[in-house]
Amino acid sequence: MEGVSIIIPTLNEAENIDPLLERIHTALAPYDFAFEIVFSDGASVDMTREVIELWQNKAEVRLVENEQGKGLAAAVISGARAAKHDFLIVMDADLSHPPEVIPGLLEPLMSGRADMVVGSRYVRGGSTPDWPVKRKIISRLATLPARMFTHIKDPLSGFIAVRRERLAKIEDEVCGFKIGLELLATAEDDVRVHEVPIAFSDRRWGQSKLSTGVVTDYIKQLAMLVGISLLPGGFKWLFPVFLTVVVTDSALFTAFLHYGIAAGWAHCLSFLPAAALGGVLGVKTLARNDIREVSGLLNWYFIGTACVCLLTLFLRSGVVATSLRINGELTTAFVFYFGLLSFLGAYSGIIFWVHSLKKRRISGRQLRTYYGLGVVFYLMLLRLAYIGGMELLPEEQYYYQLITQVQVDAPAALLPAPALLGALGMPNFPELLLGFRLGVWLLWLMTLGFIFSLARDMYDRQVAFALVLLFSIVPFFFAAGFFVTNEAVLTLIWCAALYLIYRAIVTGARNAWILAGIIIGAGLQLDVRLSVMIAGVLVYLCYSITRGKLLLSLTEPYLGLAAMLLTFLPAIIIKGGRLAVDVSTREVYSGPVWVESLLGGVLSSAWLLPVILLTPTVLAAGVVWAWLFLKAGIREQRLEGERADRHRLFLIAFFGVPFLLFLVPGLFEKNILCAWGLVWGGLMPTIAALMAFRGDYGTSELSQHPGSVGLSGGDSEPVSRGREQLDSTSVEKERVTAILRRCWWPTVCMMLLIYGAGLHLMVL
């Protein structure tokens, strides 16, 4: 059996060396593999090196001495290069990492089931005993930015098992105190990472290394991973560019306003020359100061800078429109603030997305996640900038009038849910559209949390991040977080119900049935169309009963139906049996109404509605998924056995059934209440997996399941024919999904420009 090298970086850990080595030897004594312990010391000033040297004579212990100030990551790398075995364990010397877990970390790695194993505090079975609540909160918050680069729950653990060549090839200049984060963030798309639960104890002896310097190194490590340098040309470069751009912008803006040019045009005419001047100065200065890295990228720098400035202009148009609606005019102070904020916004975009080209350590799925979160953040700011400056749609006007005309002593419960939601922000922003729409913006964030959790449970966190981008960029869901319409509230209810039902069906969280029933019952008081969720539940129950997979003792689904009826019963009693589908007219709830309001009534056919609500790329991805499902079946990559069957049943019951009941009839009757984009919510996680990443999500490799082909006896002809069909299906699948993936990011860029330019022109 191959041996193991245990790499332990140290800095003033003399009191911990003896108990640590004793526990390691005790933990590994029952196993027959050879192991060595390599201490990589970072210039300790106590007796650490002397204690280690005493152990060298009685055990397989070695000491690697490093220069002062090199840091923890450099110490781990030097220890890995000095190791003589192929399998490595990296752990801290302060006894916070339990040596007893080392065999559990090695088993997935040695068996070939994983390329890297992490001892995790935050998976089931992991813990942080004796930690105060404050430290637990700080640890969780510190983990959030690191989790952007990986799907595991504890990327900052520092207790890892990995092969020697993967760790030894890392460059020496890695900054930071967690080498595991570097490995995870720079890993290939197909790297297999496994987490093992550990009890992460606090140190008993010695002084904690957590300091301001360590936190600074962690921030630097994150910045290096994405290639960010806040002052790439130094302050001497930044100040003249800042002064030139802000002064030029403010002076031109003030002059145009003075000569009677409308504010919407004045700020555009002032921003464009100032941005062009700043872009030329900035790129030329960067090219002169950093010519080796800029060489060959100068054209991309100019193109990227122009795109960032254009997106900044779109944001500024919304802020200007909102300011005009609030104050009626723009003062000199406002003009200066616009110039200052515009410079800061454009500069941040250039530093994060343009100047970091060819400097990032991340690639593949991590890089796509980084760009995707940038798009999501921009679209959130875009909606926030425009919600106070956009004119009301007809449906919004109805709800706005309900709020403004309601008497002070009238009960708020009489208001429809969208109007009640809009009324929540009105006391803080009286007579402002900002307050009217702010509640919808916050509601969209809650919806985003449910849809993220759904995709994480269905696939993994990387697909969940892709779904967040998809959810942000698809027109229907973008509008659901902008306009005060019935769909805004219904989207939250729909996504929350989907998440709870999936947990109940697939993950076995039975109490989720009751919560889902309560949510659906409350949603039925808002809109009777939510009853299709009941149809999906009935399809699931009927299928399970006929297949004998639902035991009579499993009462939670029926309790969920009872909870839904009890929640909905008061609405039936109070309204005399009339369901909540009438506000002013029946058509105010139909999908095409607010779409036609935005398009000026030019929607000629309901057949165009799914394309408009979903974009052609997303619609094509849904059609391709259905085609693959009907032709070859679906085998989910990370699901097996009964859970995979439940996953398929969930998609059929909560996308297929609503699709047939709603979307298909809506294509043939324009004013029907069914043709709208919400029914695609259950399929969105699969679409995100199908388009954004490898083709192994949401499609089947039936060749890995020979039993499904129909092997029988010695008859080789059916087997050969079956394999030919499988090969043909696999080739078709890869070809079609590859085309969709190539369309993914162009679609994102196109929708960014459509949203920005469209909102900009509406308020201009």
Q: What is the DSSP string of 243-259?
A: HHHHHHHHHHHHHHHHT
Which value, to the nearest 10 degrees, does the dihedral of the CA atoms of residues 321, 327, 329, 333 take? -100
Close Cβ partners of 366 (under 8 Å, ≥ 6 residues apart): 148, 149, 150, 185, 186, 187
DSSP state of 37: E
pLDDT the model gives residue 286: 62
Q: Quick one: CA torsion of 565, 569, 575, 578, rounded to 10 degrees?
A: 20
pLDDT at position 629, please?
76
The Cα–Cα gap between 591 and 610 comes to 10
Determine the distance from the C-alpha atom of residue 753 to the mean position of all C-alpha atoms in its chain, rounded to a whole number: 21
Sheet containing strand 87-90, strands side by side: 61-65, 35-41, 4-10, 87-90, 160-163, 116-120, 193-197
Band of pLDDT at residue 420, cut at 50, 70 and 90? low
pLDDT score, position 668: 61
Q: What span, in angstroms and rounded, lies between the C-alpha atoms of 298 and 304?
A: 10
Residue 169 has pLDDT above 60, yes or no: yes
Which neighbouring-strand residues pair with 65?
41
| Predicted model pTM | 0.86
Residue 749 has pLDDT above 60, yes or no: yes
Question: In DSSP terms, which residues pair with 61 in a beta bridge?
Answer: 37
* Res 272: pLDDT: 92
Give me the residue label for tokens 């020359």: 273
Cα dihedral 641, 644, 649, 652 sign: negative
pLDDT at residue 570 is higher than 90: no
d(CA 449, CA 518): 19
Collapsing DSSP states into helix, strand and coil, what is residue 39? Answer: strand
Q: Report DSSP letters for 672-697, one per residue.
A: -TT-SGGGGGGTHHHHHHHHHS-TTS
Pairing of strands 61-65, 160-163: unpaired
pLDDT of residue 472: 94
- The CATH homologous superfamily to which domain 4-226 belongs is Spore Coat Polysaccharide Biosynthesis Protein SpsA; Chain A (3.90.550.10)
> What pLDDT score was predicted for residue 407?
44
Among candidate residues 282, 436, 406, the one with its CA nearest the CA of residue 349: 282
Burial readout 702-738 (b: 16 or more C-beta within 10 A, e: otherwise): beeeeeebeeeeeeeeeeeebeeebeebbeebeebbe
Percentage of residues of the chain with pLDDT beyond 90:
29
Tokens describing residue 90: 């990296």
Report the C-alpha dihedral over residues 26, 30, 31, 35, rounded to 10 degrees: 20
Per-residue model confidence (pLDDT) at position 729: 55
Tell me the sheet residues that pair with 89.
6, 161
How far apart, in whole angstroms, are the C-alpha atoms of residue 428 and residue 20? 58
Query: Quick one: pLDDT at residue 581?
Result: 43
Task: Look at residue 330 in the predicted model and tell me its pLDDT.
Answer: 85
pLDDT for residue 58: 85
Across 60-74, 289-303, 642-656, least confident range: 289-303
Q: Of 13-17, 189-193, 423-427, 439-443, where does the model show the most confidence?
A: 13-17
Q: Which two tokens stand for residue 391?
A: 């004119």
579 pLDDT tier (thresholds 50, 70, 90): very low
- Tokens at residue 331, please? 């003062």
Residues facing 117 on adjacent strands: 161, 194
Say yes or no to pLDDT of 142 above 80.
Answer: yes
Least confident of 84-98, 293-307, 472-486, 500-514: 293-307
Mean pLDDT over 333-339 rounds to 90
Overall average pLDDT of the 572-589 stretch: 47
**How far apart (Å, rounded) are the C-alpha atoms in residues 478 and 488?**
10
Residue 287's pLDDT band (cuts 50, 70, 90): low
513, two tokens: 């049935």
Supply the pLDDT for residue 171. Answer: 67
Structural tokens at position 6 = 């245990």
The sign of the dihedral angle between the CA atoms of 566, 568, 569, 571 is positive
pLDDT for 214 equals 72
Rounded CA separation 250/267 (Å): 9
Q: Which of these ranges, 36-45, 94-103, 228-237, has the smallest mean pLDDT?
A: 228-237
pLDDT band at 119 (very low <50, low <70, confident <90, very high): very high
Name the range with the highest mean pLDDT among 295-304, 530-539, 706-715, 752-761: 752-761
Which amino acid type is present at position 747? T
pLDDT value for 210: 59
* 260 within 8 A of 215, measured Cβ to Cβ: no
pLDDT at residue 741 in the model:
87
Q: Can you tell me the mean pLDDT for 609-633?
A: 82
Terminal Cα distance for the chain, rounded = 72
Range 703-731 average pLDDT: 41
Average pLDDT score over the chain:
80
What pLDDT does residue 577 have?
44
Residue 707 has what pLDDT?
Answer: 30
Q: How far apart are CA 596 and CA 603, in angstroms?
A: 6
Residues of the chain with CATH 3.90.550.10: 4-226
pLDDT, residue 400, reads 78
